[in-house]
Chain A
Amino acid sequence: MIKTKKLKRSDKLGLLEAFLFLDFVKGLSITMRNLLRKPITTQYPKEKITPPKRFRGKHGHFVYDGEEPPSLKAIQGFMSFEKAKSRCVACYMCQTACPMPTLFRIEAVQMPDGTKKVVRFDMNLLNCLFCGLCVDACPVECLTMSDIHEMSVYRRSDAVLNMDEMEYIGATNAKAVRDLPDRIWRDDKERETLWGKIKWNF
């Protein structure tokens, strides 16, 4: 619980307050106390804080590796999946849920044996607002978001995320984030050094 201190103040300063500049002194004492505290700055390029588990960063695709949810198991016979490749079924649910659908470019083809293969899955992250609706919409738990947040690029075309990169992110960063316990911060110890202790009420 955050403790709130309620103060009663009259509209006019009292005589003592006015003559001794008590309100000035109060303000000055606050800044002086801050001066004696340790700075809480994170010196960004040199040290980086770990984003929390629920952080919504760069997108990734979870790969076809035997950990699929039942929804995918039911239809995997109709798909031509490869091991360690994206498990997307090209259902376009993510695009439908997205507030900016045109940022997706999803293409799938029919293979000679009648199965379906996703050949293209591009996302133009310049238009993305990282709301995470696409992740919620994905029925086969393929699309996900990682903790990668350093996404500056030199050319606009570089901001387009393709399937290879998403598979890589899915297999590394996104997987690491997924397997963490559900806490707001990935590493409580590290967070405590920066922001102090949080008491969990469970």
Chain B
Amino acid sequence: MNDIIFYAIVIAVKILVVLGVTLGLGAYLTWYERKFAGHLQVRRGPTVVGPFGLLQPLADGIKLMTKAPILPRGIDTTLYYLAIMMALIPAVMLFAVVPFGPSFKFMGHEIKPIVADLNIAILYVFAMGSMAAYGTLFAGWASNSKYAFIGSLRKAALIVSYEVVLGFAALSVILLAGSMNVFDIVNAQIRSGIWYIVYQPVSFILFLFCMLAESGRVPFDIQEAEAELVTGYNVEYGGMKFGIFPLAEWYLNTLGLCVIASVLYLGGWSGPHIFGSFSGYIWLLAKSFGLLFFVIWVHWTLPRYQAKDVVEFAWKYLLPISIVNLVFTAFLVYFKV
């Protein structure tokens, strides 16, 4: 009985910590990105609110919340509001299977710093990624605006191109590790002493492509293409209703996928024990933020593809490459080379 209460409390604490950390981090990633983007373009980024503009997310939040709520005419109200939830909830739910470090002992129990230690964690990540796409689709459909609609149609084209490749890319790692559980995957890498990026460089690059596509980052941000679609699928949303979309897609989703990518390919929390008992957490954080750095760096460098090019590229090149890679890996694993 005591055990049940203990685990209930642990789970509640985990959920609160994950929610607080991810939402807070998501807000601060806006600051990080703006600062970084500014310096990439020889600007300064936010400097006015607080030291180094550190209170900018707070100011943004206040600004977004105090905006006049405007509902465009002819919208599908249910879907209009549902779209916000469909965008935010999968992005937050993704963090249920995102580990934050190695397991540790606390009061005689082994505690894993992850909300739900599923044995199908990677499958769950894909599922949440696909769910998040509905937010975009609904937003475009419900807004009764051609820009938003074109944006969401483009997202639909994007989904059909990256989803399959994403699955095949991650599958080769799962084959190597023999499990879909994030802890097993990391432990397999720690045991063999080699990160899977060494075995699977092709799959890593494919995964990066799909990650950029899934989180709507350049060069695959065709659904929000500012230059031609105003801001795409979320153009008819205002105030905090609008703020949710970039928060969910650009920040939470990207962050979650970056952690997953570093778990899959970069050995998760493996690394030399130079920070004492915290080194696992610090390594995972460093790897994820390194990937995030790369994603934002790419975002502020490259131009974007056209929708038809993405589909063509994904189905003609990426998919065959990923299948060949997968079959090759399967052979290697089967014959235990």
Q: Given A27-B301, A30-B301, A31-B301, A43–B44 Cβ distance below 8 Å?
A: yes
Q: Return B45 CB to nearest CB of chain A, in Å.
A: 9
Asked whether A77 is an interface residue with its Cβ less than 8 Å from the other chain, the reply is no
**In the bound complex, how far is the Cα of B300 from the Cα of A34, in angstroms?**
11
Q: Pick the contact of B302: A27, A34, A37, A39 (CB < 8 A).
A: A27
Q: Is the CB of B298 within 8 A of A28?
A: yes
Q: Does B297 contact A (CB under 8 A)?
A: yes
**Interface pick from B10-18, B34-42, B185-193:** B34-42
Which residues in B have their C-beta under 8 angstroms from that of A28? 297-298, 301
Proximity bits, A132-147, B CB within 8 Å = 1, else 0? 0000000000000000
Interface of B is mostly: loop
A-side contacts of B304, CB under 8 Å: none
A32 adjacent to chain B (CB < 8 Å): yes
B47 at the interface (CB under 8 A from A): yes
The bracket for how many chain B residues form the interface is: 10 to 19
Whether B43 sits at the interface, judged by CB under 8 Å, is yes
Least CB separation from A29: chain B residue: B301
B79 to chain A, nearest CB (A): 38
Query: Bound state CA distance, A27 and B298, in angstroms?
Result: 9
In the assembled complex, which residues on chain A have CB atoms less than 8 Å from the CB atom of B47?
Answer: 43
A200 interface residue per 8 A CB criterion: no
> Do A31 and B300 form a contact, CB below 8 Å, given A39-B38, A39-B39?
yes
Closest CB in chain A relative to B281 CB, distance in Å: 27
Q: Are A35 and B43 in contact (CB under 8 A)?
A: no
The answer for the CA separation of A35 and B301 in the assembled complex, in Å, is 11
Kindly state the separation between the CA atoms of A118 and B39 in the bound complex, as whole angstroms.
55
Tell me the bound Cα distance from A43 to B45 in angstroms.
Answer: 11
A21→B94 CA distance, assembly (Å)? 30
A41 in contact (CB, < 8 A): yes
A39 touches B43 (CB 8 A): yes
A37 to B41 Cα, complex, angstroms = 9
**Prevailing SS type, chain A contact patch:** helix
Asked if A37 and B301 make an inter-chain contact with CB atoms under 8 angstroms apart, the answer reads no
Interface residues of A in 35-51 (CB under 8 A from B): 35, 37-41, 43
CA distance A43 to B38 in the complex (A): 13
How far, in whole Å, are A39 and B40 apart by their CA atoms in the complex? 9
Q: Are A41 and B297 in contact (CB under 8 A)?
A: no
State whether A31 and B297 are in contact (beta carbons under 8 Å apart), knowing that A39-B38, A39-B39 are contacts in the complex: yes
**Cβ–Cβ contact B302 & A35, under 8 A:** no
In the complex the two chains form, what is the Cα distance from A38 to B44 in whole Å?
A: 9
Q: Which residues of A contact B44 (CB under 8 A)?
A: 39, 41, 43
Q: Which A residues are in CB contact (< 8 Å) with B38?
A: 39
Task: Tell me the smallest distance from the CB of A28 to a CB of chain B, in Å.
Answer: 5
User: For the complex, is A24 an interface residue (Cβ under 8 Å from B)?
Assistant: yes
Q: Which of A24, A32, A39 contacts B42 (CB 8 A)?
A: A39
Contact partner, A24, options B41, B43, B302, Cβ 8 Å: B302
Contact call A37/B42, Cβ cutoff below 8 A: yes
- The answer to whether A34 touches B39, judged by C-beta atoms less than 8 angstroms apart, is yes
Closest to B48 in A: A43
**Among B44, B298, B301: residue with most chain A CB under 10 A:** B301
Q: Within the assembled complex, what's the spacing in Å between the Cα atoms of A30 and B43?
A: 15
Report A108 CB to chain B, min CB distance, Å.
50
The reply to whether B43 and A32 form a contact with Cβ atoms under 8 Å apart is no
- With a CB–CB cut-off of 8 A, which chain B residues contact A35? 36, 39-40
**Residues of chain A with a CB closer than 8 A to B298's CB:** 24, 28
Determine the residue in chain B with the shortest Cβ distance to A24: B302
A196 to chain B, nearest CB (A): 12
Which residues of A are found within 8 Å of B42, using beta-carbon distances? 34, 37-41
Least CB distance from B217 to A in Å reads 14
Complex contacts, A24 vs chain B, CB 8 Å: 298, 302
Q: How far is the CA of A34 from the CA of B44 in the complex (A)?
A: 12
- Beta-carbon contacts of A1-44 to B below 8 Å, as 1s and 0s? 00000000000000000000000100110111011011111010
In the complex, given contacts A39-B44, A43-B44, what are 12 additional A-B residue pairs having Cβ atoms less than 8 angstroms apart?
A27-B301, A30-B301, A31-B41, A34-B41, A35-B36, A37-B42, A38-B42, A39-B39, A39-B42, A39-B43, A40-B43, A41-B42
A-B pairs with beta carbons under 8 Å apart, 12 shown? A24-B298, A27-B301, A28-B297, A28-B298, A30-B301, A31-B301, A34-B41, A35-B40, A38-B42, A40-B42, A41-B42, A43-B44
Considering the complex of A and B, which 3 residue pairs feature the smallest CB-CB distances, nearest first?
A31-B301, A39-B44, A31-B40
